[in-house]
Amino acid sequence: MRVMIISEVIQDDGFDGAAKMKERLQRRNQTRIEDAERRKEEKESRSVAEEKDEYFSKMFGEQRAAIEELLSGCSGADRAAVSQKLEEATAKTAQLQKFLNDSVLFLTQYELRQSQAALQKLQASLAEAREKALPKKKFAFRARSKAADKVSAPEPAPPAAGSGEVDSAAAAEQSGFSNMDNEFLTKTSEEIQKRDVLLTHLTNCKVRLFGSPSTLHLKHIHGCEVLCGPVSSSVFVDHCSNSTLGFPCQQLRTHNTTDTQVYLHVTSRAIIEDCQGVSFAPFSWSYPNLDQDFSVSGLSRERNNWNQVDDFNWLAAGTPSPNWTVIPEADRKTSWDP
Amino acid sequence: MGLLTILKKMKQKEREMRLLMLGLDNAGKTTILKKFNGEDVSTISPTLGFNIQTLEHRGFKLNIWDVGGQKSLRSYWRNYFESTDGLVWVVDSADRLRMEDCRQELSALLLEERLAGATLLVFANKQDLPGALSQEAIREALALEQIKSHHWCIISCSAVTGENLLSGVDWLLDDIAARIFTAD
């Protein structure tokens, strides 16, 4: 820039030139002051971001203290109160994890690490409190959580079990129905217990699955009524239309589905993606061994988030997704007998 | 001393690895992550966004990124590619109908320049289900033998029982460590 000024000066000549230069210098001084001002403002706005940091640690600390208090209140209280407290603590921990995830962008490495560590500690003490307070809970996942402990200890993978499983998988095909029209189809508990069930290309069928499968896949289902016992993990629905579905499960993922009613018991979350006209109501089907199958599946009967549906095509917070609705109580189906 | 050597030395000091876990939705990515970390897996919801977990294992610090696999989220995967040391591709072994989808998504991923140096671990998950495809069947369905651009390995596992999760991650760590920490 200085070079420019000199060249300009050289070009100008006489007194007139000197006056002009003075004026120019003044103007430059002015812009320099303005620049400095701007920089100062920028610095100030950055300090707002630092306040955000403080805000994070304050919020995080508060939430953490709240959860710790909940956990410490667990000893001595009665079962119902304890389970409610644990429930609340679990939800709060999940919220806190989400808050941390959302804040990752502006946190420093150190803070992130610290918060992660704090969260892990919380989760550990939560699990411990749960184990201590509710040792006899009906959760079938208990056996699995014991397996989790084993995982942390390095164990040589049993090669025999691996190859054996491959063989049995080849022999035992997936259980289910496909390519049927206008049929009434049932499966008994022995046929589906702890197995993966697949229903594909069914039209105008009524399907009853009595029992507790491990997982359930529905694909290309049109004009059907599908009812199933408690599914211990996830249900996956794809390309379904004009149908009525009913099942308890841990997770539900619904894709490319239109005008379908779902009578649902879901212990974590249901999601929809590329769906329209999907409506939800609480699971209401019943059959003689339902209670027994519920305990086989390990699903909690108390926790049902049937009306908390996440739409992956509708991420605007605050406004409800137009792609799904709750079935009004008066319109819900109560009698399922064929 | 070249720039690469300096970078290697820096990584060696930290012994830190960044693992990216991807796969179709319902493959069990979050369940693997939580199980590996010893957390409760019965309350997991479909991932709306991503989870990160930092954990210590065999003296390494692992930053594991678990990104949601829903169709509408897959276009965001690329935001997580940068400086990935290991890619964990999780497959629902019982989902025969979407094996072709799974193969396509994986092969598109392997063309990605920013993942060029990453080691690939394929988890054939959900082996606890009787209808699960075997490791060999999945190796074939995903055409893994054709992968020449990456070090890869397929390991069958079950996130709910925890079976083989450890041996899979151990293989991944060994491969990455051999590449960044000792190669000179």
Tokens of B68: 């949601």
Compute the average pLDDT of residues A186-214: 94
Q: What is the residue-averaged pLDDT of chain B?
A: 91
Contact B46 A251 (CB under 8 A): yes
For residue B55, with 0-12 CB atoms within 10 Å meaning exposed, 13-18 middle and 19 or more buried, which class applies? middle
Q: What is the 8-class DSSP label of residue B182? A: I
What confidence category does residue A262 fall into, taking pLDDT thresholds of 50, 70 and 90? very high
pLDDT value, residue A167: 37
pLDDT value, residue A310: 93
* pTM recorded for the entire structure: 0.66
pLDDT tens digits along A97-122: 888 877 777 777 788 888 888 888 88
Q: Tell me, what CATH number does B83's domain have?
A: 3.40.50.300
Share of chain A above pLDDT 90, in %: 48
Per-position b or e across B136-168, b if 16+ CB within 10 A of its CB: ebbbebbebeeeeeebbebbbbbbbbbbbbbeb
pLDDT value, residue A11: 52
pLDDT value, residue B173: 92
Contact A101 B40 (CB under 8 A): no
pLDDT value, residue A14: 56
Whole-number Å distance between alpha carbons of B85 and B172: 9
Residues from chain B that touch A141, judged by Cβ atoms under 8 A, are 40-42
pLDDT value, residue A229: 96
Compute the average pLDDT of residues A263-276: 95
Q: How many domains does chain B have?
A: 1
For residue A338, with 0-12 CB atoms within 10 Å meaning exposed, 13-18 middle and 19 or more buried, which class applies? exposed
Whole-number Å distance between alpha carbons of B86 and B89: 10
pLDDT value, residue A291: 94
Q: Is A86 helix (H, G, I), strand (E, B) or coil?
A: helix
Antiparallel, parallel or unpaired: β B50-57 and B60-67: antiparallel
pLDDT tens digits along B19-49: 999 999 999 999 999 999 999 998 999 999 8
Identity of the amino acid at A256: N
Tokens of B19: 């693992």
User: Is B146 an annotated catalytic residue?
Assistant: no
Residues from chain A that touch B166, judged by Cβ atoms under 8 A, are 151, 154-155
* Domain boundaries A1-134, corresponding CATH code: 1.20.58.1250
Share of chain B above pLDDT 90, in %: 79
Residues from chain A that touch B47, judged by Cβ atoms under 8 A, are none
pLDDT of residue B181 exceeding 90, the answer is: no
State the residue for tokens 């290697």: B8
Antiparallel, parallel or unpaired: β A309-311 and A270-273: parallel
pLDDT value, residue A146: 41
A31 — phi, psi (to 5°)? -65, -35
pLDDT of residue B52 exceeding 80, the answer is: yes
**Which helix or strand (DSSP H or E) is residue A253 part of?**
strand A251-266
CB A180: neighbour CB atoms within 10 A? 17
Could you please state the CATH topology (level 3) that the domain comprising A144-331 is classified under.
Answer: Pectate Lyase C-like (2.160.20)
pLDDT tens digits along A44-75: 776 665 567 778 888 888 888 888 888 887 77
Whole-number Å distance between alpha carbons of A201 and A282: 26
CB B46 within 8 A of CB A266: no
- Kindly list the strands in the beta sheet with B86-92, ordered across the sheet, starting from the edge strand earlier in the chain: B50-57, B60-67, B16-22, B86-92, B119-125, B152-156
pLDDT of residue A158 exceeding 70, the answer is: no
Compute the average pLDDT of residues A206-229: 95
CA B36-B166-B9 angle, 5° bins? 95
Whole-number Å distance between alpha carbons of B13 and B16: 8
Angle, in degrees to the nearest 10, between helices A109-133 and A79-103: 170
Q: Is residue B6 part of a domain?
A: no
pLDDT of residue B51 exceeding 90, the answer is: yes
CB-nearest to B45 from A168, A169, A268 is A268
Shortest alpha-carbon distance between residue A16 and chain B (Å): 57
pLDDT of residue A171 exceeding 70, the answer is: no
CB B20: neighbour CB atoms within 10 A? 24
State which residues form the domain around B31: 13-182
Q: Is residue B27 part of a domain?
A: yes
Shortest alpha-carbon distance between residue B113 and chain A (Å): 24
Query: Does the annotation list B35 as a binding residue?
Result: no
Shortest alpha-carbon distance between residue B116 and chain A (Å): 25
β-partners of residue B60 are B57
CB A335: neighbour CB atoms within 10 A? 6
Closest chain B CA to residue A147: B161
Identity of the amino acid at A332: R
pLDDT tens digits along B138-168: 999 999 999 999 999 999 999 999 999 999 9
What confidence category does residue B178 fall into, taking pLDDT thresholds of 50, 70 and 90? confident
For residue A194, with 0-12 CB atoms within 10 Å meaning exposed, 13-18 middle and 19 or more buried, which class applies? middle
CB A328: neighbour CB atoms within 10 A? 9
Secondary structure tally for chain A: helices H, strands E = 8, 13
Query: Which of A228, A239, A244 has the alpha carbon at shortest distance from A294?
Result: A228
pLDDT value, residue A13: 52
pLDDT value, residue A51: 61
pLDDT value, residue B92: 97
pLDDT value, residue A156: 39
pLDDT tens digits along B73-102: 999 999 999 999 999 999 999 999 999 999
Whole-number Å distance between alpha carbons of B74 and B109: 10
Distances (CA, A) of B19 to A197, B65, B147: 33, 6, 19
pLDDT of residue A162 exceeding 50, the answer is: no
Query: Does the annotation list B126 as a binding residue?
Result: yes
Query: Does the annotation list B49 as a binding residue?
Result: no
Shortest alpha-carbon distance between residue A250 and chain B (Å): 7
pLDDT tens digits along A78-94: 777 888 888 888 888 88
State the residue for tokens 């069990």: B28
Query: Which of A250, A256, A337, A269 has the alpha carbon at shortest distance from A309?
Result: A269
pLDDT value, residue A114: 84
**Which helix or strand (DSSP H or E) is residue A62 part of?**
helix A14-72
Within 8 A by CB and 6+ apart from A254, the residues are A237, A240, A260, A262, A270, A271, A272, A273, A275, A278
CB A116 within 8 A of CB B54: yes
pLDDT of residue A236 exceeding 60, the answer is: yes
pLDDT value, residue A338: 64
Q: What is the residue-averaged pLDDT of chain A?
A: 82
pLDDT tens digits along B110-138: 999 999 989 999 999 999 999 999 999 99
Identity of the amino acid at B50: F
First to last CA, chain A: 88
Whole-number Å distance between alpha carbons of A107 and A59: 13
pLDDT tens digits along A137-154: 444 454 444 444 444 433
Return the residue in A86, A233, A235 with the most chain B beta carbons within 10 A, the one to mutate for interface testing: A233
Whole-number Å distance between alpha carbons of A269 and B47: 10
Tokens of B42: 């019965």
Query: Does the annotation list B159 as a binding residue?
Result: no
Return the residue in B24, B32, B45 with the most chain A beta carbons within 10 A, the one to mutate for interface testing: B45
Higher per-residue pLDDT: B72 or B184: B72
Whole-number Å distance between alpha carbons of A173 and A161: 18
β-partners of residue B64 are B19, B53
How is chain A split into domains, by residue range? 1-134, 144-331
Compute the average pLDDT of residues A155-159: 39
Query: Does the annotation list B29 as a binding residue?
Result: yes
Share of chain A above pLDDT 70, in %: 80
Whole-number Å distance between alpha carbons of B168 and B175: 11
pLDDT value, residue A63: 87
pLDDT value, residue B119: 95
Closest chain B CA to residue A304: B43
